[in-house]
Amino acid sequence: MSAAAATELLARVADEPRWVEARALVLALAAGTPGVDAVRCASGWLVRAPADGLAVAIGVAPASALAALGGGAATAPMAVLLPDVGASAADTAEVTAAAAAVGRRAERAVVHTLGDADDAGDALPDDDGVGLLPAEAALDHVPAPLRAELVRARSRGPVVAAQVDGVAVSFAYAPWRSTRWFDISVDTLPGLRQRGLGTRVAAGLIRLERAAADGAPRRQPVWGADEDNRASRALAARLGFVAVDHLWLVP
């Protein structure tokens, strides 16, 4: 992609919560980061990170974006984010039909944010007992899909972990970072959930990102959760997140 095209994309993608993944990908593209590409699609762009299984449609209608990527898990392993699409009845009908046409199903995610650090920082739960996941820490006990996510996340920034019996079992990390925001993900191994571990690691990562030093920007968290994912939305509420937007995803 040319420098002019990258500049055009940056101008189209605001540094706002609903665009955090898109903005992060476009910044990576502009920096020449390996593993990210962009292709023209109709009047817009598809920005793709195949190793992360994600594509973002920018200025592209849902039908065009999904047709370009194909249908079914075997031929289109990338989930597609559609941040241009709103939440009206007409938008819902459009994205639902576009997904069905390629054998996929659209999901609506709820986008949450916290208040400013000056207002909300002290209200976060305790993060006692959590720490950074060392670069050399073994992850053989972690299921393969999560292990792959953690390896990628660890290459991009800090991963906060909680241990049980000396083994890291709960993790908070940021798959995507823009200049002002970071997308927070929390995973706890099966059998160890409902113990408050996820709350603690999430609080630890939020504090870490907000207090960034050595010239790094201070970032605020964005929490995205499928509308029907009650567990994720409940954890977000415990941390003080509030819903501010909606976003369509076609997994």
Contacts of 102 (CB under 8 A, 6+ apart): 66, 67, 69, 70, 71, 72, 76
Query: Are 208 and 161 contacting, i.e. CB atoms less than 8 angstroms apart?
Result: no
Among all chains, which residue has been given the structure tokens 């650090």? 117
Q: Can you name the residues that pair with 161 across neighbouring β-strands?
A: 131, 171
Which of 73-82, 182-191, 215-224 has the lowest average pLDDT? 73-82
Measure the CA–CA gap between 61 and 229, rounded to whole angstroms: 26
**Residue 233: pLDDT band with limits 50, 70, 90:** very high
User: Span 62-90, mean pLDDT?
Assistant: 80
Contacts of 103 (CB under 8 A, 6+ apart): 71, 72
Rg (CA), the chain: 18
For 111-155, write each residue's pLDDT tens digit.
999 976 555 446 788 888 999 999 888 899 999 999 999 999 999
User: What is the DSSP pairing of strand 54-58 with strand 44-49?
Assistant: antiparallel
pLDDT at 120: 47
For 37-64, write each residue's pLDDT tens digit.
988 888 899 999 998 999 999 999 999 9
Measure the CA–CA gap between 40 and 22, rounded to whole angstroms: 15
Q: What is the DSSP letter of 30?
A: H
User: What is the DSSP pairing of strand 44-49 with strand 37-41?
Assistant: antiparallel
Cα 71 → chain centroid: 22
Q: How far apart are the first and last CA of the chain?
A: 26
pLDDT at 125: 86
pLDDT at 74: 42
